[in-house]
Amino acid sequence: MGIISTLVSSSGAAWATAQPLNLPDTAAPMVLSSVAVPAAIDDPSLFLPTPSERLTLLVLKLSERRLYGYQGDRQVVSYPVAVGRADWETPTGNFTVLQRQQHPTWQHPFTRELVPPGPDNPLGARWIGFWTDGNNAIGFHGTPDEHLIGQAVSHGCVRMRNADVIALYDRIRIGTRVIVQP
């Protein structure tokens, strides 16, 4: 008996399902050259978090180096983070999510050199911006240096493990409230 099934939508997303196949042990391998995918699977809204799963508020506690996610007044998730170092503190106050980007390109703040998406990109897998002065921006992002999580090491941004920032990215929207506390 074997297990098979992967569905691929025209957008390239794939979903795996496990279903037993009742094949004899001597069965030849099967190759599916094309699979019809219902149009409804191509609707990305089917795979977005429902409003009840979305976070309505993010509270970053710098002294704890921890980010808390809320639905209404109920805390539902928290993540360890790295924050701005002593000479580049993460700003405190009330903000909103201004930007969201998957696989961002990073620009060095001094040399202006561009670093494309990939394993060496300091922004990791996602960017969630909540502050800008028009030239520079601060936000939540992944990092290739996950061993630094829990420390004050950034230039003001909030570094997260890549798996954590991907999970967070999927649960917030532009306009989500962000409170940064000392």
Q: What is the mean predicted confidence (pLDDT) over 48-59?
A: 77
Q: Which pLDDT score, from 0 to 100, does residue 84 have?
A: 97
Say what the pTM is. Answer: 0.71
Confidence band (pLDDT; 50, 70, 90) for 109?
confident
Q: What is the mean predicted confidence (pLDDT) over 17-38?
A: 41
Q: Which residues are catalytic?
A: 141, 157
pLDDT at 27 over 50: no
Confidence band (pLDDT; 50, 70, 90) for 50?
low
pLDDT at 105 over 50: yes
Confidence band (pLDDT; 50, 70, 90) for 68?
very high
CB atoms within 10 A of CB 118: 9
Cα first-last separation, the chain: 58
* Residues 113 and 81 sit within 8 Å (Cβ to Cβ): no
Structural domains in the chain, sorted by start = 2-47 (no CATH), 57-181 (2.40.440.10)
Q: Write out the DSSP string of 85-140.
A: -TTSPPPPEEEE--EEEES--EE-TTT--EE-SSTT-TTTTEEEEEEE-SS-EEEE
Q: Which pLDDT score, from 0 to 100, does residue 41 have?
A: 43
Name which of 144, 130, 62 is nearest 98 in CA terms. Answer: 130
pLDDT at 18 over 90: no
Q: Which pLDDT score, from 0 to 100, does residue 67 have?
A: 99
166: helix, strand or coil = helix
Residue 141 is given by DSSP the state E
Q: Which pLDDT score, from 0 to 100, does residue 75 have?
A: 97
How far are the Cα atoms of 36, 47, 97, 139, 140 from residue 41, in angstroms, in the given order? 11, 9, 29, 32, 30
Measured CA to CA, the distance from residue 153 to residue 83 in angstroms comes to 6
